[in-house]
Amino acid sequence: MSDPTAPIAAKGIYTIAGIYGLIVLLPLYFGEHVLATMGQVLTRPEYYYGFIGAAGSFQLVYLAIGRDPIRFRPLMPLTLVAKWSFTIPVAILFLAGRVDTITMILASVDAMIGLAFLRAWRITPVA
């Protein structure tokens, strides 16, 4: 017998993740000048803005799943790919000394969200 509170938990997980992601990502649209003041050169702005747009649009997917987790349960494994396709390479790069600690900490937040997504997928009943 499945847990009747599972859809409520999945709703919360995905809704919070979507809102958090939008709060973190959308200000980056206006942050290119901050990178310049930090000495970072943005040689490929299309990658920067493309990343923000693609990642930002996926936050809307999280919000959609949060509205109806049972209906959108088949999308949940894709959300794991979205989170871990960032966190796993960052962890490897960190171990190789190619990214800083702050980047690793930020990636670990996404790793924890990915674990929450895995839990939500496992507890959400199949439609």
For the CA atoms of 79, 84, 85, 86, what is the dihedral angle to 10 degrees? 110
- Write out pLDDT tens, residues 111-121: 999 999 999 99
Rounded to two decimals, the pTM is 0.89
Tell me, what's the pLDDT at 61? Answer: 98
Helix (H, G, I), strand (E, B) or coil at 126: coil
pLDDT band at 1 (very low <50, low <70, confident <90, very high): very low
Q: Report the pLDDT value the prediction gives residue 34, as an integer from 0 to 100.
A: 80
